[in-house]
Structure 1
């Protein structure tokens, strides 16, 4: 059994380290995971594959067992569940429904989708953040928007080179002491700016009857971090979301698997089935209970939750037997129509079961503003100064 070093250098047996929660989730003690004597050597990879096959088979068998139980016990209770919106329940779409959406909305430009991308190039002299958003439709209409933020630790000129150097060293030391949040725009803040731009573009520039977005219409990024730090910023994000909800003909589909309890219910759906389950009010209230919201910020969010939360329905859909279920968000007055739109778009790629229009927006974003375009342009700019490698990170110059 391996040992670990204690606070004064003494060796602590790994067997003394226990974590019941870890063991319950992974089926082995935490100490066994740390014990290198239990690890498989490279020549024993066959045993790894056998364990992999066994674990996957057991997990799938468990999901199949609970599937019928959910259909039998949970589905009938959805319409009368606490907080259920009007129209709550499970529905079966037909081929005729999908054909009507294809002909009447999707393929004639009646739905436009928006998606974004954000990238960071960080060097000692300069940190560059690029945010891009694409708006697309199947009738060939598309638009692109991009913005770059350039952060330098010292922008003002200092007459004395010595004082300039000392000031720069002091500011960079302060950045390091603040950690990631201080060293560059945080991931949460960067995503917040991108999600704000996506929703603003859907409202300001889309001409389609229906607007499709990626994620949630009320994203966490716009209710926390950069936005929740100041009441004025929060008011700006809440006003944008309120305007979007007031438009009503919107549908959002997240790709993240955060709502595992909902997706477990979704696994019980048959192909072309969808369910209307609840509203966002409960989710926003849960955020208020767990988040560090106080004073005017908390008051604004409580009002927002009471007014806007009940207007946004949460649903599930499944496009094919090969595809996983997905969560969708829509206005409670148009939730069924929104479900048919995402179903009709998702059946176009049976293996994924995800809206192809959102994939198209993502592809346009990455082809035009992705890392393959962004990073070489930055490297070229450094090369123009005569320093093509001096400020690049080790990973950028690593041979692949």
Structure 2
């Protein structure tokens, strides 16, 4: 992607040539100037956002319901404290909602690359389950009987691993690091959770699964598990941490506390992923899989609605996804769990799953075990890169 000078100037308010002139940069010791500029920019930005709020509420909120092809549930709604108390008593605190989250850590050196994926399932009843998978990636070790040929093959293999255009980092490593974990989170929610409501982290049909992260086998398995989770179970709720939908988050900033919006179905967003130029992680689908995935989008997408809620004046709005048949109850569950964290306005059950997962499968324990293995092999530091030995 080429960025022209005009686009840069429009976005940042100065010419790129001025930015590249390091003689005009501030010195590191000019803290007073730093504070003044940041305060001015933040104050101006917030004032601009606040100025949009009345127009959004007056003009755009009503159009959510009346625009062409809007889902029947579209519109702005307000929850009451009684609604949240009911959800707390009848669903959240009696274990009727389970949340799932995963984490991954990777150790990458010349001798071996180890990817650990961990997934945890939790509820407020104290029940929890955890699952882990570890993938061990080794370079080519087959022998042809000719030491020089074997060495040249090894060097070629490692050269490809270091080139993002050739193979590994963009495909196999991404499949191991993201695609499999994302699939496992949804598979465990579907197959292992026994709760009435299943809460997930992120988009229910994320890019990694709609493209298979480059693996058509993962794509097939993902469509199978998502059909079961979304079309058969239906009582699902997904909340992403950092949604990129800035246009919808702008609407969310206009919400009052305990209000939520139902915006649209997920079909077009799913189709956008499928029809993008990099569909299939670096290459187009075959015609057969392109048809299969489009059919899947039209089959599943209309049943998924997305919206935005806000729980307090201090907290940001949050995007959420739910089945169309239970979207209002899902919004109440998300809000009831999020009011427990006034400053975050994010479901605490997802945070709990994340904390348990990072504690169980995070960097500290994993790295200690790996370092011990290197020590036992007689090479505690030789194969570790600079970042691994940085204090």
* Shorter-chain TM-score above 0.5: yes
1:244 has 2:229 as partner: yes
Alignment of 1:223-238 (within 5 A): 223-224=210-211, 226-227=213-214, 229-230=215-216, 232-238=217-223
Q: CA deviation at 1:159?
A: 5.2
Question: For 2:375 and 2:286, how far apart are their aligned partners in 1?
Answer: 49
The aligned residue for residue 218 of structure 1 is 205
Query: Is 2:301 the partner of 1:316?
Result: no
Preserved CA contact (<8 Å) 1:18 1:31 = no
Q: How does 1:56-67 map to 2 (within 5 A)?
A: 56-67=42-53
Contact 1:136–1:360 (CA under 8 A) maintained in structure 2:
yes
Task: Please give the alpha-carbon distance, in whole angstroms, between the structure 2 residues aligned to 1:351 and 1:181.
Answer: 43
Question: Residue 20 of structure 1: CA displacement?
Answer: 1.1
User: How many residue pairs were aligned?
Assistant: 381
Task: Sort the Cα spacing of 1:179 and 1:171 in 2 relative to 1 into closer, same or farther, 3 A.
Answer: same
What is the CA–CA distance in structure 2 between the aligned matches of 1:248 and 1:159, rounded to whole Å? Answer: 58
Displacement of 1:168 in angstroms is: 2.1
CA distance in 1, matches of 2:304, 2:223: 14
- Using the size of structure 1 for normalisation, the TM-score is 0.91
CA contact (8 A) 1:111 1:211 kept: yes
Contact kept, 8 Å, 1:312 with 1:329, in 2: the verdict is yes
Q: What is residue 191 of structure 1 aligned with on the other side?
A: 178
Q: Is the 8 A contact 1:346 1:355 kept in 2?
A: yes
Gaps of 5+ in 2: 278-283
- CA offset digits 1:93-151 (Å, max 9, x no partner): 01100000000000010000000001111001101111110000000000010110001
Aligned-partner SS, 2:139: coil
Q: Does 1:36 align with 2:22?
A: yes
8 Å Cα contact 1:18-1:29 kept in structure 2: no
Cα deviation, residue 43, structure 1: 2.6
Q: Residues 285, 83 of structure 1: CA spacing in aligned structure 2 closer, same or farther, 3 A cutoff? A: farther
SS in structure 2 at match of 1:182:
coil
Aligned equivalent of 2:9, options 23, 32, 49: 23
**Cα root mean square deviation, aligned:** 1.8
SS of 1:113's equivalent in the other structure is strand
C-alpha displacement of 1:160? 5.5
**Worse overlay, 376-385 or 153-162:** 153-162
Shift of 1:225: 5.2
Q: Where do 5+ consecutive residues of structure 1 fail to align? A: 1-16
> What displacement does 1:177 show?
4.2
- Normalising by the residue count of structure 2, what TM-score does the alignment of the two structures yield? 0.93
Alignment partners' CA distance in 2, 1:147 and 1:368: 13
1:25 Cα deviation after fit: 1.1
